[in-house]
Structure 1
Amino acid sequence: MKMTPEEFRHQKCQTLQGVDLSRKGCIDDAIKLLVEVINNRDEFVTTSSCSGRVILFCENIAEGHKKGCKWLFTSHDSVDIQELINSVDPAEGNLVFKYEPLILHIRCFTLDHAKLLHTCALEAGFRNSGITLGKHGKVMLAVRSCMGLEVPISENGELLVSHKYLEFLVRKANEKVEENQSRTERLLTCVKNAFEVNT
């Protein structure tokens, strides 16, 4: 059943007034304008977002199953190698170095609205983006790319890699941070242009 504009606006208000359940508890500075531009249109509402981040975390393993993780380091910008190395403590357990690029989930009023932003995402370089159709006419767009990086660096309290390799990982992650930021800027430009044409 097709949703009416009034129903969508009501659900959008509920989403925007809801509690932010992310670890940070707020929208990342680097994408505040992008999120604002999208949410200013009646036909869209962002439901979750992350501008991209470098993380060092410890997997908590219990009886062979993952039971969450403990974050030792996180940054939404380029990383200083010494700052990261200072956070590396093999005694914490199984450490993993990870980079996650931008992820943005957007609920859209219609499939055509989702296609509009999907085209913007592809043009900006987020080629792993996709649209899903849910129950009751729910249309979701996920903006994402394949620039992720995840590398185990210690196991059972033993560091598996050298400091030189850690420096290499940080350089690679920083390159991805810069590329992700460039794509995000392109996405903002594409979205603004698309909205101007489709006003």
Structure 2
Amino acid sequence: MDRIAEFRKWKVQCLSKADLSRKGSVDEDVVELVQFLNMRDQFFTTSSCAGRILLLDGGINGFEVQKQNCCWLLVTHKPCVKDDVIVALKKANGDATLKFEPFVLHVQCRQLQDAQILAVRSTHGLEVPLIHKGKLMVTEEYIDFLLNVANQKMEENKKRIERFYNCLQHALERETMTNLHPKIKEKNNSSYTYKKQRNQEKARSQCITKENVKELENDDDDVGINITIFPEDY
């Protein structure tokens, strides 16, 4: 069996399995994106989250919160209000942490060139401890402030999903057109080679300043995508 046939078989097997997430289904805000990827021959998704605000109780294990060892006091994929958090905090027994987790998408890719289209990252998150050993360590006013921040991140997260989806559609359309017209592909490759050479020459003539390094470390304009290339030994 060739690699393309093996990938198709693996895709069918994975997509036929039940959704193993706590919710048991794909989040509404990413359903269209997930379906779009799974309809492409070169991709299939293994898990996803549209972004969420959650409150975790780590029990007696301190701040080393792990999903399998903690209690989910509250989880929502929509903007959250303070009253819901206050009620949920009353159930905490150990160290409770408020988190915002941005959009995450895990994708299996048939080959490297397919994965390069999806190679983006994000640091658009939030994690703040609220309770330590059952004692509330912050004021309700501060909780209200944190929720405003988390809700703003949730709204920005939705915009990033839309932006990523639109960019992905355009990128795959260009790839399809390039494959259909070899002369365009040859022209694009020549242009890419020329630009790459110019960039390499420019890089050799410049030094990266501390400010540049800091800017790169703080760059969080992209959504978070985890990509796996189809393994050779599958």
Q: TM-score, with normalisation over the residues of structure 1?
A: 0.81
Give the RMSD, CA atoms, in angstroms.
Answer: 1.9
Instruction: Identify the structure with the greater strand proportion.
Output: 1
CA distance in structure 2 between the partners assigned to 1:189 and 1:63 by the alignment: 42
Q: Secondary structure at the match of 1:23?
A: coil
User: What one-letter code is carried by the residue in structure 2 that aligns with 1:80?
Assistant: V
More displaced 10-residue stretch of structure 1: 25-34 or 64-73: 64-73
Residue 157 (structure 2) aligns with: 180
CA distance in structure 2 between the partners assigned to 1:13 and 1:150 by the alignment: 37
Deviation for aligned residue 1:116: 1.6
Deviation for aligned residue 1:17: 0.7
Residue 78 (structure 1) aligns with: 79
Residue-by-residue CA offset, 1:18-56 (whole Å, 9 max, x unaligned): 122111111101100000111110100011111110001
User: What one-letter code is carried by the residue in structure 2 that aligns with 1:182?
Assistant: K
Change (3 A) 1:63 1:92: closer
Identity %: 40
Deviation for aligned residue 1:96: 0.7
Deviation for aligned residue 1:62: 5.2
Structure 1 position 95 matched with structure 2 position 72: no
Q: Secondary structure at the match of 2:70?
A: strand
The number of equivalent residue pairs is 173
Q: Secondary structure at the match of 1:114?
A: helix
In terms of Rg, which structure is larger?
2
CA distance in structure 2 between the partners assigned to 1:96 and 1:75 by the alignment: 15
Q: Secondary structure at the match of 2:56?
A: strand
CA distance in structure 1 between the partners assigned to 2:63 and 2:164 by the alignment: 41
More displaced 10-residue stretch of structure 1: 12-21 or 161-170: 12-21
Contact 2:58 2:64 (8 Å CA) reproduced: no
Instruction: Identify the structure with the greater helix proportion.
Output: 2
CA distance in structure 2 between the partners assigned to 1:20 and 1:46 by the alignment: 11
Q: TM-score, with normalisation over the residues of structure 2?
A: 0.69
Change (3 A) 1:189 1:155: same
CA distance in structure 1 between the partners assigned to 2:72 and 2:150 by the alignment: 17
Contact 1:57 1:71 (8 Å CA) reproduced: yes
| Pairing partner for 2:146 from 160, 169, 178 | 169
Gaps of 5+ in 2: 177-234
Contact 1:52 1:180 (8 Å CA) reproduced: yes
Q: Secondary structure at the match of 1:27?
A: coil
Gaps of 5+ in 1: 122-127, 129-144
Q: Secondary structure at the match of 2:59?
A: strand
